[in-house]
């Protein structure tokens, strides 16, 4: 029986079929229109960069440190920075204040650090994620509509170990939430690529450094409350912004040598003058085009962990062909270190040497900017946070306590009448500090001496 069936099948296959001609193959799907990914942030004189975010931006720390980079690296450009962070914000909240708190500053670029609150501090929930996607895409659209370029950034790290150490652990948050934030960031990266936007990865360096430090100190953290990085973590975040999106170059490279008994010099990002031999060495003048990237003292551990001096602010002096011995390096008559001829021939990095006048000048800039953020920008962000709280209170009363609504509305109207003037005053105060910064950040010429001890 099987043999008969097999023969019948073969006979059928061998029989010519005079049916309709085969249908044409379906047309290939159109090739996706892949956009090139935007390059580095390209700020020109007079441009504005807005940092949009939640409480982690409201802290005015990573934003401040990125500002310090620009103030010291590009002193000839008069740039403007606006912090638009509000504690507790989701993407939906940012949309409510977008016109007044972002668009009105006419930014060229807008960084976005949102998502920590959007995820709901729980395990992954599709409806919550759907809301985040919708609101974030709307936000990206609005930034494009005002002619600015968005720079999306991943949510930062949720440090479950820190929460557990402080005895305020909570489930399912602590088991899942850091992974939820990673998923949100991965989705956002993909949206950035689809739109051709640049992107900053905040999540990975915070997690990677925490993991590395806990190999020797299991209780180490830079996020004491599990959510808000302190100065150390915020330095890591600033380094991520510069690493991923900001043009980098050395602060200065000075090379001195000899050719047939004559001193020679070469400089990058500055000008050497009056190079001459002395009784025990040599001397020259140097005018740099920039200052080293120096942060306030509270960020010192973060500076070491990220190596931002070496990576992003390299300032090196190299002197070849010196006789063997130990040499003292002076700048403007101040001894800043003693080095062997071999060390000088290899090159001595000065960007983190706090004895140099360049470091001290950059520190002055950083401390001025710290005052700008402490005394103007953070109070400005507090005003915006207060506005959100007061509006939420009114909305709550509309549905729960209509009897007191009129009084509360009158109280709000009185407060809100003064809101624009308060904001304007704080923006003006920040501008005053900005003017001081642009006077303090101009590089100066200095005299260098290399003298045999």
CATH number at residue 113: 3.40.50.1110
Residue 320 is assigned to a structural domain of this protein: yes
Q: Does the pLDDT value for residue 297 go beyond 70?
A: yes
pLDDT at 22: 52
- How many structural domains does the chain have? 2
Please determine, for residue 9, whether its predicted confidence score (pLDDT) is greater than 50. no
Whether pLDDT at 421 is above 50? yes
Q: Given this model, what pLDDT does residue 398 score?
A: 84
Q: Does one domain contain both 207 and 302?
A: no
Please state the rounded mean pLDDT for residues 345-365.
98
The answer to whether residues 108 and 47 touch, using CB atoms and an 8 Å cutoff, is yes
- Tell me: pLDDT of 257 over 70: yes
- SS3 assignment, position 189: helix
**Across 24-44, average pLDDT:** 79
Residues 219 and 350 in one domain: no
Domain that holds residue 279: 252-358+442-452
Residue 5 has pLDDT above 80, yes or no: no
Residue 29: the pLDDT is 64
Domain check: are 283 and 230 in the same one?
no
Q: Which of 233, 248, 263 is the last residue of a domain?
A: 248
62 and 185 co-located in one domain: yes
**Residue-wise burial string across 340-370, b where 16 or more C-beta atoms lie within 10 A, e elsewhere:** ebebbeebbebbbbeebebbebbbbbbbbbb
**pLDDT at residue 110 greater than cutoff 60:** yes
Q: Are residues 52 and 121 in the same domain?
A: yes
Task: Read off the tokens for 398.
Answer: 């509309």
- Pairwise CA distance, residues 268 & 374, whole Å: 36
Answer yes or no: is pLDDT of 3 > 60.
no
Cis peptide before 124 (omega within 30 of 0): no
Q: What is the pLDDT of residue 400?
A: 79
User: Which percentage of the chain shows pLDDT scores above 70?
Assistant: 93
Q: What are 47-72's pLDDT values in tens digits?
A: 999 999 999 999 999 999 999 999 99
Same domain, 215 and 353: no
Q: Give residue-wise pLDDT tens across range 302-348.
A: 999 999 999 999 999 999 999 999 999 999 999 999 999 999 999 99
- pLDDT at position 198 is 95
Residues 6 or more apart whose Cβ sits within 8 Å of residue 399? none
d(CA 23, CA 25): 6
Q: Is residue 6 part of a domain?
A: no
CA 242 to chain CA mean position, Å: 6
Could you tell me the CA-to-CA distances from 57 to 2, 33, 51 in Å, in that order? 77, 34, 7
**Is the pLDDT score of 31 beyond 80?**
no
Give the separation between CA 122 and CA 179, rounded to whole angstroms: 10
Contact 97, 142 (CB under 8 A): no
Q: What Rg do the C-alpha atoms of the chain give, in angstroms?
A: 30
The per-residue pLDDT for 11 is: 40
pLDDT at 25: 61
Length of the chain: 453
Model confidence at 423, pLDDT cuts 50, 70, 90, reads very high
Listed in sequence order, the residues at least 6 apart from 268 whose beta carbon sits closer than 8 Å to its beta carbon are: 250, 252, 253
Instruction: Tell me which residue has tokens 């006789």.
Output: 323
Coil vs helix vs strand at 52: strand
Task: Give this prediction's pTM.
Answer: 0.91
Mean of per-residue pLDDT scores for the chain = 93
Percent of the chain as helix, strand, coil, to the nearest 5: 50, 20, 35
- Per-residue pLDDT at 205 exceeds 60: yes
d(CA 184, CA 10): 57
- 221/336 same-domain check: no
Tell whether 218 and 278 lie within a shared domain.
no
Q: Is residue 392 part of a domain?
A: no
pLDDT confidence band for 33 (50 / 70 / 90): confident
Classify residue 363: in a domain, yes or no: no
Is residue 227 domain-shared with residue 310, that is, in the same domain?
no
Q: What angle do the packed helices 231-245 and 62-73 form, to 10 degrees?
A: 50
* Phi/psi at 402 (5° precision): -65, -25
* The pLDDT value given to residue 247: 85
75 and 176 together in one domain? yes
Q: What integer is the mean pLDDT of 288-293?
A: 97
Q: Is residue 410 part of a domain?
A: no
142 and 102, same structural domain?
yes
Among 217, 248, 279, the domain-final residue is 248
pLDDT at 56: 98
Residue 284 lies in a domain: yes
- Coil, helix or strand for 110? strand
The whole-number pLDDT of residue 333 equals 96
Rounded distance, CA 381 to CA 422, Å?
Answer: 11
Q: What is the mean pLDDT of residues 367-373?
A: 98
Q: How far apart are the C-alpha atoms of 74 and 442, rounded to whole Å?
A: 9
Q: Are 93 and 177 within one domain?
A: yes
Which of 248, 278, 313 terminates a domain? The answer is: 248
Condensed to tens digits (0 to 9), the pLDDT of residues 137-196 reads: 999 999 999 999 999 999 999 999 999 999 988 999 999 999 999 999 999 999 999 999
Tokens of residue 414, six digits: 């009185």
Long-range contacts of 399-405 (CB under 8 A, 24+ apart): none
Distances (CA, A) of 451 to 263, 345, 353, 354, 427: 15, 14, 19, 20, 49
> pLDDT at residue 15 above 80?
no
Whole-angstrom distance, CA of residue 88 vs CA of residue 281: 60
Q: Could you tell me if 245 and 38 are in contact, meaning their C-beta atoms sit under 8 angstroms apart?
A: no
Tell whether 417 is covered by a domain. no
- When pLDDT is cut at 50, 70 and 90, the band that residue 131 belongs to is very high
Cα separations in angstroms, 210 against 156, 159, 203: 12, 9, 11
Is 2 part of a structural domain of the chain?
Answer: no
- Closest by Cα among 211, 214, 202 to 245: 202
């Amino acid at each position: 029986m099987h043999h008969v069936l097999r023969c019948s099948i073969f006979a059928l296959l061998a029989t010519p079929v005079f049916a309709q001609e085969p249908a044409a193959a379906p047309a290939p799907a159109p090739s996706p229109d892949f956009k090139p990914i935007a390059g580095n942030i390209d700020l020109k004189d007079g441009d504005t960069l807005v940092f949009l975010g939640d409480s982690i931006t409201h802290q005015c720390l990573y934003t401040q440190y990125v500002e310090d980079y620009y103030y010291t690296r590009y002193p000839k450009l008069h740039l403007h920075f606006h912090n638009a962070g509000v504690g507790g914000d989701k993407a939906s909240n940012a949309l409510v204040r977008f016109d007044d708190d972002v668009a009105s500053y006419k930014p060229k670029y807008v960084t976005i650090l949102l998502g920590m609150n959007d995820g709901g501090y729980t395990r992954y929930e599709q409806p919550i994620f759907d809301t985040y996607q919708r609101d974030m895409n709307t936000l990206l659209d609005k930034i494009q509509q005002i002619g600015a370029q968005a720079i999306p950034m991943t949510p930062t790290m949720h440090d479950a170990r820190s929460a557990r150490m402080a005895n305020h652990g909570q489930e399912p948050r602590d088991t899942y939430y850091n992974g939820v934030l990673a998923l949100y960031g991965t989705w956002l990266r993909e949206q950035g690529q689809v739109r051709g936007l640049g992107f900053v990865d905040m999540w990975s360096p915070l997690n990677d450094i925490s993991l590395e430090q806990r190999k020797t100190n299991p209780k180490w953290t830079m996020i004491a409350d599990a959510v808000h990085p302190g100065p150390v973590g915020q330095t890591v975040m600033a380094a991520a912004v510069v690493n991923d999106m900001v043009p980098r170059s050395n602060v200065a490279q000075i090379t001195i040598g000899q050719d047939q008994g004559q001193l020679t010099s070469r400089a990058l990002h500055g000008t050497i003058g009056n190079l001459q031999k002395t009784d025990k060495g040599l001397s020259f003048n140097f005018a740099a085009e920039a200052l080293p990237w120096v942060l306030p003292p509270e960020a010192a551990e973060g500076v070491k962990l990220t190596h931002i001096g070496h990576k992003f602010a390299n300032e090196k002096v190299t002197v070849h062909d010196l006789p063997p011995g130990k040499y003292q390096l002076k700048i403007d008559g101040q001894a800043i270190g003693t080095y062997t001829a071999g060390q000088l021939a290899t090159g001595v990095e000065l960007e983190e040497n706090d004895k140099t006048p360049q470091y001290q000048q950059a520190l002055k800039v950083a401390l001025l900017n710290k005052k700008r953020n402490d005394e103007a920008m953070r109070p400005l962000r507090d005003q915006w946070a207060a506005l959100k709280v007061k509006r939420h209170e009114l909305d709550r009363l509309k549905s729960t306590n209509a009897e007191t609504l009129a009084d509360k509305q009158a109280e709000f109207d009185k407060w809100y009448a003064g809101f624009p003037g308060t904001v304007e005053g704080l923006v003006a105060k920040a501008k005053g500090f900005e003017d001081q910064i642009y006077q303090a950040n101009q590089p100066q010429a200095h005299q260098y001496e290399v003298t045999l001890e």
